[in-house]
């Protein structure tokens, strides 16, 4: 029996007398239940060991602390030792042992740990996989996060325990053999790890600990069949060296997004629709290890000082990772996947994202160095379209791409890829996209491609478009062309240059030629909803001209009745184009759809179409401001 004194920051001192072993956590089955979000379901265990008290951490994320030191296994625990679990401070005093009717003494084994099948270690028997505090080989001393013991919901519970135990065996065996794993490539390391595990299993044939029906350890054996053992080994190798249960998902072409909400909940997006996936991570620590494995190669980190990170994977997939304390319910991971072969405009036409006329028009605009902004909501296909448009850039041109996390895959020979950098642990060394845009201007670019404009870099991007770097491309988040222009104005003002709004609009009108708006339909398809020309400014209003739109009722694209204003300049340069792709104002087939435009070329805008200074007219004159 032990007496535990519980001191909480926001409550009175409480004393409890409990029989050993004592399971501590927030689960209702625990002997000592502590209600705090920083306490794991099964956080720690207090048991008898060689006549002394032994305190073990069960793989909690926030850890178990004794005398201001994080421990994995600590003993002997003395009455003066201060134990901190979550927001609670504990002091433990052992009472005189009880004697049963046959003269035997003991601490019972009647607690929740014994009832749930947790092993109770008698005197002289060490706990498997744990180390005494101060042992340099222990996970606490090595700075690693101990393995957690979750409550799996989808896979058989035995798999989680076996995977977790074999994972520990693998790390121990590689360390004992002094393998210089950092000098191995991925294939060699996986082969070596497979050899180590196979040799260990053939020698032992049994694991000391596996997981029971409620996520707690109990004795057990490996799968008897060879197929089950091979599957188990593959899962251990995936979790130890790869992406764990995400590994097969990363190999599936039909998946465009992977979302992990804690280690027991995985969702995937297939063909635009979200689905719950059956796989789970064996523990929160395993998920954290995979997240660290994803962000570390690109110089990112995840810790309490930097609890979120953006990164990219070798295949170009985009990663966003968030950990506690920002992610209250546990680590969150979002992976945006892209096709192995980035589709061109022809493939997008076959997918229905645009029609052949739009494809030819946009390709010609890229070749003739129009400045294009691709706008759309999250997951609408902006990056995919930007890649497709970049295929139309002439091979001899020098292209510089700038991104937060490099995910563009331009099929271009002469390119320079620049990537922003977050600050280091001291808060220094950050390099913003705006700095990279300024630097790119000194690198003799023919075109600048910014993955996404989010802030003050928009001003430098517009300046580049208007100072000899025509044909530049970028994206931004917006729900319509008007919203895109409003956001562009706001981002320019974020540069802190105290520019008047009229000057900002003059800069936008002189720099941007086309706005391409993307939308994601309810059925998951991604289509170009509108192509709009920015054709000038009048009465402090930006003037736009719709060229193409998507009709949701018919599910097809249609052309506007107006000819783009820059067609005239193309004609003067001797550039051929198909004027029949844009019917003239006398064509009644477009008038009945409301797409007649009475302001072709430099004709004045009808008074009814002028909007207030904070808005834009849908139709307008040429590319220069009208006095």
- 599, 605 contact by CB (below 8 A): yes
Q: Is the confidence at residue 399, as pLDDT, over 50?
A: yes
Please name every residue paired with 4 in a beta bridge, in sequence order, or none if there are none: 16, 92
Mean pLDDT score, 88-95? 83
Selected residue with higher pLDDT from 258 and 605: 258
201 found inside a domain: yes
Claim to verify: residue 384 and residue 477 sit in the same structural domain? yes
Claim to verify: residue 479 and residue 610 sit in the same structural domain? yes
Which of the residue ranges 31-40, 207-216, 315-324 would you say has the lowest mean pLDDT?
207-216
pLDDT of residue 141: 34
Mean pLDDT score, 623-627? 36
Mean pLDDT score, 504-533? 92
pLDDT of residue 508: 92
Q: Tell me whether residue 266 is exposed, middle or buried, using C-beta atoms within 10 angstroms of its C-beta: 0 to 12, 13 to 18, 19 or more.
A: buried
Q: Is the confidence at residue 612, as pLDDT, over 60?
A: no
Distance CA 418, CA 190 (A): 32
Claim to verify: residue 32 and residue 67 sit in the same structural domain? yes
Q: Is the confidence at residue 550, as pLDDT, over 70?
A: yes
pLDDT of residue 187: 67
Claim to verify: residue 97 and residue 211 sit in the same structural domain? no
Domain endpoint, select from 142, 168, 189: 142
Q: Is the confidence at residue 557, as pLDDT, over 70?
A: yes
350 found inside a domain: yes
pLDDT of residue 71: 87
CATH number assigned to the domain comprising residue 316: 3.30.450.90
Claim to verify: residue 166 and residue 72 sit in the same structural domain? no
Domain endpoint, select from 303, 336, 369: 336
Residue 21 burial (CB count, 10 A): 26
What are the backbone angles phi and psi of residue 56, rounded to the nearest 5°?
-125, 135
> Which pLDDT tens digit goes with each residue over 126-172?
333 333 333 333 333 333 333 333 333 333 333 556 666 776 676 66
Cα separation values, 123 from 2, 44, 47, Å: 17, 19, 10
Using alpha carbons, select from 468, 485, 510 the residue that is nearest to residue 622. 510
Q: Is the confidence at residue 485, as pLDDT, over 90?
A: yes
Distance CA 385, CA 362 (A): 11
Residue 220 burial (CB count, 10 A): 16
Claim to verify: residue 171 and residue 237 sit in the same structural domain? yes
Using alpha carbons, select from 333, 299, 304 the residue that is nearest to residue 420. 299
Claim to verify: residue 12 and residue 70 sit in the same structural domain? yes
148 found inside a domain: no
Residue 395 burial (CB count, 10 A): 8
Most confidently predicted of 102-106, 193-197, 213-217: 193-197
422 found inside a domain: yes
**The model's pTM:** 0.58
- 332, 261 contact by CB (below 8 A): yes
- 147, 169 contact by CB (below 8 A): no
Residue 112 burial (CB count, 10 A): 23
- Residue-averaged pLDDT of the chain: 75
CATH number assigned to the domain comprising residue 123: 2.60.200.20
548 found inside a domain: yes
Selected residue with higher pLDDT from 70 and 517: 517
Claim to verify: residue 509 and residue 363 sit in the same structural domain? yes
Domain endpoint, select from 92, 112, 142: 142
Claim to verify: residue 116 and residue 260 sit in the same structural domain? no
622 found inside a domain: no
How many domains are there within the chain?
A: 3
Claim to verify: residue 275 and residue 368 sit in the same structural domain? no
Claim to verify: residue 309 and residue 402 sit in the same structural domain? no
Residue 268's pLDDT band, with cuts at 50, 70 and 90, is very high
> Which pLDDT tens digit goes with each residue over 220-263?
456 656 666 677 777 777 777 778 889 888 888 888 899 999 98
> Which pLDDT tens digit goes with each residue over 419-466?
888 887 677 888 988 899 999 989 999 999 998 888 888 998 898 888
Using alpha carbons, select from 442, 432, 376, 383 the residue that is nearest to residue 404. 432
CA 494 to chain centre: 26
Claim to verify: residue 275 and residue 382 sit in the same structural domain? no
Structural domain boundaries enclosing 164: 157-336
Q: Is the confidence at residue 540, as pLDDT, over 90?
A: no
147 found inside a domain: no
150 found inside a domain: no
């Amino acid at each position: 029996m032990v007496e535990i004194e519980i001191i909480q920051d926001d409550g009175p001192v409480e004393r409890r007398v409990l029989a050993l072993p004592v399971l501590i956590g927030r689960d209702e089955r625990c002997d000592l239940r502590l209600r705090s979000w920083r306490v794991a379901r099964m956080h720690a265990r207090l048991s008898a060991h060689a006549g002394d008290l032994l305190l073990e951490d069960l793989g909690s994320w926030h850890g178990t602390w004794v005398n201001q030191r994080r421990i994995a296994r600590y003993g002997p625990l003395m009455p003066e030792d201060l134990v901190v679990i979550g927001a609670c401070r504990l002091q433990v005093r052992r009472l005189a042992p009880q004697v049963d009717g046959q003269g035997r003494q003991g601490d019972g084994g009647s607690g929740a740990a014994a009832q749930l099948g947790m092993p109770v270690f008698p005197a002289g028997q060490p706990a498997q996989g744990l180390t005494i505090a101060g042992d340099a080989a222990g996970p606490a001393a090595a700075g690693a996060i101990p393995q957690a013991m979750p409550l799996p919901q989808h896979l058989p519970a035995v798999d989680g325990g076996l995977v977790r135990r074999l994972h520990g065996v693998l790390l121990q065996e590689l360390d004992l053999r002094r393998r210089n794993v950092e000098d191995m490539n991925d294939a060699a390391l996986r082969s070596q790890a497979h050899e180590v595990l196979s040799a260990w299993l053939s020698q032992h044939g049994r694991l000391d600990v596996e997981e029971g029906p409620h996520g707690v350890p109990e004795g057990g054996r490996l799968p008897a069949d060879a197929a089950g053992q091979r599957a188990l080994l593959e899962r251990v190798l995936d979790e130890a060296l790869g992406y764990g249960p995400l590994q097969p998902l990363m190999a599936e072409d039909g998946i465009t997004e992977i979302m992990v909400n804690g280690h027991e909940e995985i969702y995937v997006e297939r063909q635009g629709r979200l689905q719950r996936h059956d796989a789970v991570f064996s523990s929160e620590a395993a998920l954290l290890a995979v997240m660290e494995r994803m962000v570390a190669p690109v110089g990112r980190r995840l810790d309490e000082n930097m609890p979120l990170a953006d990164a990219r994977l070798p295949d170009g997939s985009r990663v966003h990772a968030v950990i506690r304390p920002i992610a209250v319910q546990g680590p969150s991971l979002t992976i945006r996947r892209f096709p192995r072969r980035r589709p061109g405009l022809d493939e997008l036409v076959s997918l229905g994202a645009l029609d052949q006329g739009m494809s030819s028009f946009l390709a010609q605009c890229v070749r003739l160095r129009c400045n294009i902004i691709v706008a759309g909501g999250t997951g609408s296909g902006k990056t995919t379209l930007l890649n497709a448009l970049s295929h139309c850039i002439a091979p001899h041109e020098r292209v510089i791409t700038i991104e937060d996390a490099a995910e563009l895959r331009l099929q271009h020979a002469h390119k320079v890829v620049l990537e922003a950098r977050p600050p280091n642990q001291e808060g220094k060394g950050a390099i913003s996209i705006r700095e990279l845009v300024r630097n790119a201007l000194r690198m003799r670019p023919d075109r600048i491609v910014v993955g996404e404009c989010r802030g003050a870099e928009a001003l430098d991007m517009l300046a580049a478009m208007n100072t000899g770097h025509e044909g530049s491309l970028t994206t931004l988040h917006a729900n319509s062309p008007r919203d895109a222009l409003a956001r562009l104005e706001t981002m320019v003002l974020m540069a802190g240059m105290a520019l008047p709004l009229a000057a900002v609009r003059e800069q936008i009108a002189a720099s941007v030629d086309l706005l391409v708006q993307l939308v994601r339909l309810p059925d998951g398809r991604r289509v170009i909803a509108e192509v709009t020309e920015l054709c000038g400014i009048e009465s402090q209003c930006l003037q736009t001209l719709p060229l193409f739109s998507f009709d949701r009722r018919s599910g097809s694209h249609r052309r506007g009745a107006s000819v783009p204003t820059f067609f005239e300049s193309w004609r003067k340069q001797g550039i051929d184009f198909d004027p029949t792709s844009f019917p003239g104002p006398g064509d009644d087939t477009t008038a009945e759809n409301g797409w007649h435009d009475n302001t072709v070329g430099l004709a004045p805008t009808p008074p009814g179409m002028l909007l207030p200074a904070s808005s834009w007219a849908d139709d307008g004159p040429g590319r220069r401001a009208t006095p």
